[in-house]
Structure 1
Amino acid sequence: MKHLVFVAALALFPCVASAQQAQTAQGGELRVLDKLNGTVTDVSLSTGESTQIGHLSVTLTECRYPRDNPSGDAYANLLVTYRDQVEPAFEGWLIASAPALNAMEHPRYDVWVLRCIRS
């Protein structure tokens, strides 16, 4: 199923399909929603950096944006773990303009990519 979602993303977002058109950023900005208490937290991470938000540990592996349009659509690779579980709650790419394409499916938390940080 994840492969099907990724193929759909490649078809819908040409900048994802061609790595030559993408520029890697120094970091990214994410938004986390705790659905239990309605708390929204925005966090800025450098590439490779991790942070603890509630019971989640979020690591930004990479953030990319279209080379031709630096303010354009960001997509980020994340590793998200819940509490001390060995199996990640989410591992993969999230696209800022289409968070539902490859969404993190968790009963308590939602995570979105807002933008890449270029400087």
Structure 2
Amino acid sequence: MPAVRAAALLTGLLLGLLGAGSAAAQPIANPVATFAGLDKITGRITRFDVYIDETVLFGALEITPRACYNRPQTDTLQRTSAFLEVDQRSLTGTSQRIFTGWMFADAPALHAIDHAVYDVWLVECKTSTDVPPPDQR
């Protein structure tokens, strides 16, 4: 019954992450998500800021964060989380969704993007960035 135990453990973990049954502080929404991306071919790590609902291209990946939340440092839950959509762009210009879900800065492997060439993980959520908003570019 390892699969049943694993499912129960995952359910408990997710309930803990969502704050079910705890007096956790409400998450704070932020307009900017900071990601780090690894190109496994070159070994280069790139850090980049993305506004919520903006789509950026990292290699062949189109990354669109839909929400980015912080919790206070005293909170024992996952303190930084983002909901994002990731599409892979082909050479013909078409895109295929390869990831939709939550990503946690404190546990990047919990919900990782499974790609042969690129790794992307959430670093932080911020209120501002040096990158101008999409409507000002």
State the TM-score bracket (shorter-chain normalisation).
Answer: 0.7 to 0.9
Larger radius of gyration: 2
Query: Would you say how many aligned residue pairs link Structure 1 and Structure 2?
Result: 111
When the two chains are superposed, the root-mean-square deviation of aligned CA atoms in Å is: 2.5
Distance across 2 between alignment mates of 1:93 and 1:59: 12
The percent identity for this pair of structures is 30
Structure 1 stretches of 5 or more lacking a match? none
Distance across 2 between alignment mates of 1:46 and 1:85: 21
After superposition, the Cα gap between the structure-2 partners of 1:74 and 1:6, relative to the gap in structure 1 and judged at 3 Å, is farther
**What CA deviation, in whole Å up to 9, does each residue of 1:62-117 have, x standing for no partner?**
10011x339x821111111111333x111111000101111111111111100001
Does structure 1 residue 49 correspond to structure 2 residue 62?
A: no
Distance across 1 between alignment mates of 2:36 and 2:15: 23
In structure 2, what is the equivalent of residue 94 of structure 1?
Answer: 103
Q: Tell me the CA shift for residue 48 of structure 1.
A: 0.8
Structure 2 stretches of 5 or more lacking a match? 1-6, 129-137
Instruction: State whether residues 48 and 60 of structure 1, in contact with CA within 8 Å, keep that contact through their aligned partners in structure 2.
Output: yes
Instruction: State whether residues 9 and 101 of structure 1, in contact with CA within 8 Å, keep that contact through their aligned partners in structure 2.
Output: no
TM (norm. structure 1) is 0.80
> For 2:14, what is the secondary structure of its paired residue?
helix
